[in-house]
Amino acid sequence: TSNKMWGGRFADGPDAIMEAINASIGFDKRMAAQDIAGSRAHAAMLAAQGIIEDSDAEAIREGLLTVLSEIEAGEFAFSTALEDIHMNVEARLKEVIGEPAGRLHTGRSRNDQVATDFKLWVRDQLDATEGALLALIAALLDQAERGADWVMPGFTHLQTAQPVTWGHHMMAYVEMFGRDLSRVRDARARMNESPLGAAALAGTSFPIDRDATAQALGFDRPAANSLDAVSDRDFALEFLGAASICAMHLSRFAEELVIWSSAQFRFVQLSDRFSTGSSIMPQKKNPDAAELIRAKVGRIFGANVALMMVMKGLPLAYSKDMQEDKEQVFDAADNLMLALAAMEGMVRDMNASRDSLAAAAGSGFSTATDLADWLVRVLGLPFREAHHITGSLVAMAEAQGCDLPDLTLAQMQSAHAGITQDVFSVLGVENSVNSRISYGGTAPAQVRAQIARWQEILG
Ligand code: ARG
């Protein structure tokens, strides 16, 4: 038997393999609510424009609510033969209300319908991502506030560089996730144009009102070009792009948590709630959530690349290739939400070990730059010479197996006769971080100013 929707042209039904490769209902049923919202707006507009009878539009709009409640209650029998969510809903509407259902698709195509549904879905997802990012940022701000003046080593090349503060390190991630937030908001503002009414590709001869449906669905305006409207998936790619960058940030943080929670570092303790044990090694507490977050970037970035590849060769306007957009976006969205929530939970729960951080901050000659700066400031040496003298003192300390503050004044003076006892005042880590008062620097006063700025931004 041939298809209900286009049986006129077809004598034969599809092969089972054709049905398997063609059907999208297995995944696009996630857009049921969006599909029904779009159809209800379209039906209302058709009646307001006198294109269909008010009574038919009423029956359609009511019937669609019945279908929605069936789907939400899990009572809906999805059919692969009906390919996708659009035809499943319409076919069921026909069963529920009869003949008027056939008038719903006037002046519309599945091409503008799917673009509209998917946009509404992605828009909801951008909003959900925004909420998750705000929650994560709030958790980071709490950590930053608690440890605004806790000293820890700052690294370059994962080698001890200069002391920084815990609050400063947390606030670095606030900046990163803050940019993710603005990317999500940008994408939402740019994508918020309605494809509905573009019809198959050329628009329609019916006197539709695209402004009305755009407004009913919360879009800022109708998309201006019908060819573009049905073949644009930039909004999905922008979501995936923003999600990829955000996942990359999450992954870098996750990597730090894996390192920091190791027995060799002991910078943080992750909570039991976000750790796992070993089935054989009784002592183990593994940072599995962080490791999985670190891995998620792979599939999210993979989705981004996959959809770029799907789109790059498509002539205008719609091609069935575009049906491959949804699984990538759904998977990326689900995993991004999970990763954001897991990171928020870990950050909320984690205990930074102030003592371990401080001990590590003072080792590895972390205040060598402060010593060089002292030689410049107090003795008036050129920085290059100060750098050289300090290097020789580091070598001396290393040979003796001690840190810079453990050298005697006489040893210091063997590198430069002008050095005085005052030099020891800059070799402490507290002094070092307190001195870095330049805008955006690690001094607790700067960190507290940045925390206050973000608290104000977030209200
Ligand atoms: N399931 C299709 C998709 O996801 C809906 C649009 C189908 N349009 C068409 N002309 N075959 O893209």
ipTM of the complex: 0.97
Mean local confidence (pLDDT), 6-10: 83
Tell me the pLDDT tens digit for each residue of 64-90.
999 999 999 999 999 999 999 999 999
Residue 155: phi and psi, rounded to 5, are -120, 145
The pLDDT score that the predictor gives to residue 281 is 82
Q: What angle do CA 110, 113, 115 make, to 5 degrees?
A: 110
Rounded distance from Cα 94 to ligand 1 centre (Å): 20
Query: Ligand 1 within 6 A of 23 CB?
Result: no
Q: Which residues are CB-contacts of 98 (< 8 A; sequence separation ≥ 6)? A: none
Given the residues 157, 205, 279, 438, select the one marked as catalytic: 157
Helix (H) or strand (E) holding 307: helix 288-312
pLDDT band at 280 (very low <50, low <70, confident <90, very high): confident
**Tokens found for residue 438:** 């330049």
pLDDT of residue 13: 87
pLDDT of residue 3: 73
Counting ligand 1 atoms within 8 A of each CB, the residue from 3, 27, 83, 84 with the most, and so the one to mutate, is 84
Strands 268-269 and 221-222: unpaired
Distance between CA atoms of residues 230 and 253, nearest Å: 39
Is 279 part of the annotated catalytic residue set?
no
Return the ligand 1 atom nearest residue 83 CA: 1
> Can you give the C-alpha Rg of the chain in angstroms?
31
Task: Choose one of 18, 27, 110, 113 to mutate for the ligand 1 pocket test, by most ligand atoms within 8 angstroms of C-beta.
Answer: 110
Find out whether 304 and 241 touch, Cβ atoms under 8 Å.
yes
Read off φ and ψ for residue 152, nearest 5 degrees.
Answer: -150, 165
Name the active-site residue from 69, 278, 392, 425. Answer: 278
- Answer yes or no: is the C-beta of 317 below 6 A from any ligand 1 atom: no
Determine the pLDDT at residue 2. Answer: 67
- The residue contributing the CA closest to ligand 1 atom 12 is 323
Evaluate: CB of 199 within 6 angstroms of ligand 1: no
- Distances from the Cα of 315 to the Cα of 227, 310, 421, angstroms: 11, 11, 76
- Residue 29 CA: distances (Å) to CA of 121, 126, 303: 11, 19, 20
**Lowest-confidence segment of 27-36, 164-173, 238-247, 276-285 by average pLDDT:** 276-285
What's the mean pLDDT in 344-371? Answer: 94
If we measure between CA atoms, which residue out of 299, 284, 286 comes closest to residue 250?
299
Ligand 1 near 84 CB (within 6 A): yes
The pair of structure tokens assigned to 182 is 């603005």
Compute, in angstroms, the gap from residue 30 CA to the centroid of ligand 1. Answer: 15
Give 221's strand partners.
193
Assign 302 a pLDDT band (cuts: 50, 70, 90). very high
> Which tops the pLDDT comparison, 202 or 281?
202
From 393, 423, 398, select the one nearest 411 (Cα to Cα). Answer: 393
The candidate with the shortest Cα–Cα distance to 35, out of 103, 121, 100, is: 121
CB of 363 closer than 8 Å to CB of 160: yes
Please choose from 25, 85, 88, 114 the residue to mutate so as to test ligand 1's pocket, defined by most ligand atoms within 8 A of CB: 114
Instruction: For residue 318, give the ligand 1 atom closest to its CA.
Output: 10
With 80 as the cut, is the pLDDT of residue 5 above it? no
- What is the number of the ligand 1 atom nearest to the C-alpha of 85? 1
Helix (H, G, I), strand (E, B) or coil at 286: strand
Catalytic-residue membership of 157: yes
* Cα–ligand 1 centroid distance for 82 (angstroms): 12
**CB 113 less than 6 A from any atom of ligand 1:** no
Which residue, judged by its Cα, is nearest atom 4 of ligand 1? 323
Quick check: helix, strand or coil at residue 376?
helix
110 lines ligand 1 (CB under 6 A): yes
The overall average pLDDT reported for the chain is 96
**Residue 355, burial from CB neighbour count under 10 angstroms (0-12, 13-18, 19+):** exposed
Given the structure tokens 């806790």, which residue do they identify? 150
The CB of 323 under 6 Å from ligand 1? The reply is yes
Please report how many Cα atoms fall inside a 13 Å half-sphere around the Cα of residue 259, on the Cβ side. Answer: 9
Model confidence at 430, in pLDDT bands (50, 70, 90)? very high
Could you give the CA distance from residue 455 to residue 458 in angstroms, rounded to a whole number? 5
Mean pLDDT confidence for 88-108: 98
Whether 322 is in the pocket of ligand 1, judged by its Cβ within 6 Å, is: yes
CA of 88 to the centre of ligand 1 (A): 13
Report the C-alpha gap between 248 and 240 in whole angstroms.
12
Q: In whole angstroms, give the CA distance from residue 436 to residue 449.
A: 14
Burial class (CB in 10 A: 0-12, 13-18, 19+), 25: middle
Please check the confidence at residue 1 and state whether its pLDDT lies above 60: no
CA dihedral 309, 313, 316, 320 (to 10 degrees): -60
115 C-alpha to center of ligand 1: Å? 9
The pLDDT of residue 283: 84
Please report which confidence band the pLDDT of residue 391 belongs to, taking 50, 70 and 90 as the band edges.
Answer: very high
C-alpha 114 to ligand 1 mean position (Å): 7
CA pair distance 25, 387, nearest whole angstrom: 67
